[in-house]
């Protein structure tokens, strides 16, 4: 029992106990509140609709807008819609092709194309694909029911012809005159590639967090022989070298196993910004909270996993959590890498976010270091007056 009590007296033991309780508790509180009723917020998903059938397709367009369980935005061209979808603005694109209405009127089977970006969140892909088949089934049923109604209202038709018409309509009811043509864009053949956004975007944060824990210990040791500014600038130079060199090694190794849509230069430059933001963000916590810094960094883990957008779109999260990811390095990192790896689209918006995160968090660290009292470094190690008198 004595060793047990002595073990509890050590400060690091108490910190370990706090981590054992707080970490799972944070995940429970954040994820349970953030994901609560997320599947009921499908109306927050954005879908693009393009009508290539002109005035004739207006009625079909209205029907789609009514049946769709999410927000539908009408765009002018399929090219624009595809570009917007690849940029992450839409979960799906629906195209009413030219001659679609005439095919239905002529009694032939008509295909309604749906384009689903595989570089989107897994939940979003599943929801929009299920909704696509459901919408076409409802559209087809409505068309057949209207045909039966027209037949019933035709006074010139005899009873035998009426029975035959109704029988044909009911027989086709299961098939339907409208078919969903699902087109999956930006798909990857290797499942390992789908894990790359999480590896490059989120694991970079974990690595930076772990690294800065050790660097903070080193900084405390160096206080005995160096001033606070010597330690600070030496550490910043080392961190800058890491932000430039480590992504080069990691990206080079990663691309030995898979191919991505973007160029190596674009992927590497973005990874440097992600690394820089993660380093500055996790370093700031030590400047602000001291030994409690790791707890703050760990507290950001469930938030960033939830708002990264690879599992569920941020639009479907509880309102409080929808925009938090814009201010976190790993969340921006994962979303940007999803664009680069799947579609090769530009990630300028995410790069701006990462630069702002880096500048602001580094500025806070610089300000906090400036406010700290000078340690026992070389600048303060002056021989006592009695020793000077002896000389």
Structural domains of the chain ordered from first start:
11-31+191-378 (no CATH), 45-185 (3.40.1710.10)
Q: What is the per-residue pLDDT for 329?
A: 96
Q: What is the per-residue pLDDT for 60?
A: 85
118-122, 283-287, 345-349, 360-364: which range is least confident on average? Answer: 118-122
CA distance 112 to 282: 49
Torsion angle of C-alpha atoms 183, 189, 191, 197, degrees rounded to 10: -80
Q: How many CB atoms lie within 10 A of CB 273?
A: 24
* Residue 35's pLDDT band (cuts 50, 70, 90): confident
Residues 6 or more apart in contact with residue 245 via CB below 8 angstroms: none
CA 119 to chain centre: 10
Half-sphere exposure of 326 (CA within 13 A, CB side): 7
Q: 114, 182 in Cβ contact below 8 A?
A: yes
Q: 326, 353 in Cβ contact below 8 A?
A: yes
Reported as a single tens digit per residue, the pLDDT across 257-309 is 988 999 999 999 999 999 999 999 999 999 999 888 998 999 999 999 999 98
CA 329 to chain centre: 11
Residue 296, classed as helix, strand or coil, is helix
Whole-prediction pTM: 0.79
Q: What is the per-residue pLDDT for 300?
A: 94
DSSP 8-state class, residue 176: -
CA distance 335 to 304: 11
In the predicted model, what is the mean pLDDT of residues 206-235? Answer: 92
Between these two residues, 199 and 143, which has the higher pLDDT value?
Answer: 199
* Radius of gyration (C-alpha) of the chain in whole angstroms: 30
Reported as a single tens digit per residue, the pLDDT across 56-87 is 888 888 888 888 888 899 998 999 999 899 88
* Residue 370's pLDDT band (cuts 50, 70, 90): very high
Q: Where are the alpha helices (DSSP H) in the chain?
A: 2-9, 11-34, 58-67, 78-86, 100-105, 122-152, 159-173, 191-194, 196-201, 203-222, 228-254, 264-289, 293-307, 329-342, 348-371, 385-390
């Amino acid at each position: 029992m004595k060793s047990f009590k002595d073990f509890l007296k050590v400060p690091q033991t108490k910190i370990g106990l706090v981590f054992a309780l707080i970490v799972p508790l944070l995940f429970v509180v954040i994820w349970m509140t953030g994901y609560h009723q997320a599947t009921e917020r499908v109306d927050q998903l954005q879908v693009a609709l393009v009508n290539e059938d002109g005035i004739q397709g207006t009625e079909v367009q209205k029907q789609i807008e009514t049946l769709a369980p999410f927000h539908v935005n009408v765009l002018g061209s399929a090219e624009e819609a595809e570009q917007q979808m690849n940029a992450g603005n839409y979960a799906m694109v629906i195209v009413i092709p030219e001659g679609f209405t005439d095919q239905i009127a002529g009694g032939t089977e008509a295909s309604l194309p749906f384009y689903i970006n595989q570089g989107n969140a897994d939940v979003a892909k599943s929801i929009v694909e299920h909704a696509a088949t459901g919408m076409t089934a409802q559209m087809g049923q409505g068309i057949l029911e209207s045909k039966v109604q027209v037949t019933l209202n035709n006074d010139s038709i005899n009873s035998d012809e009426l029975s035959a018409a109704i029988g044909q309509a009911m027989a086709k009811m299961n098939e339907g005159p409208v078919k969903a043509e699902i087109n999956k864009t930006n798909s990857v053949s290797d499942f390992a590639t789908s894990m790359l956004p999480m590896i490059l975007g989120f694991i970079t944060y974990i690595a930076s967090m772990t690294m800065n824990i050790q660097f903070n210990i080193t900084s405390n040791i160096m206080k005995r022989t160096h001033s606070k500014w010597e330690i600070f600038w030496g550490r910043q130079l080392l961190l800058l070298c890491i932000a430039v060199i480590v992504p080069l090694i990691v990206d080079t190794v990663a691309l030995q196993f898979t191919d991505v849509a973007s160029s190596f230069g674009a992927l590497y430059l973005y990874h440097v910004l992600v690394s820089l933001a993660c380093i500055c963000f996790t370093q700031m916590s030590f400047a602000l909270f001291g030994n409690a810094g790791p707890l703050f960094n760990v507290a950001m883990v469930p938030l960033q996993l939830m708002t990264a957008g690879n599992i569920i779109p941020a639009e479907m999260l509880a309102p409080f959590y929808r925009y938090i990811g814009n201010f976190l390095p790993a969340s921006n990192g994962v979303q940007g890498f999803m664009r680069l790896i799947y579609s090769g689209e530009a990630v300028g918006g995410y790069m701006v976010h990462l630069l702002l995160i880096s500048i602001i968090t580094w500025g806070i660290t610089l300000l906090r270091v400036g406010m700290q009292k000078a340690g026992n470094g070389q600048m303060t190690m002056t021989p006592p007056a009695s020793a000077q008198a002896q000389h």
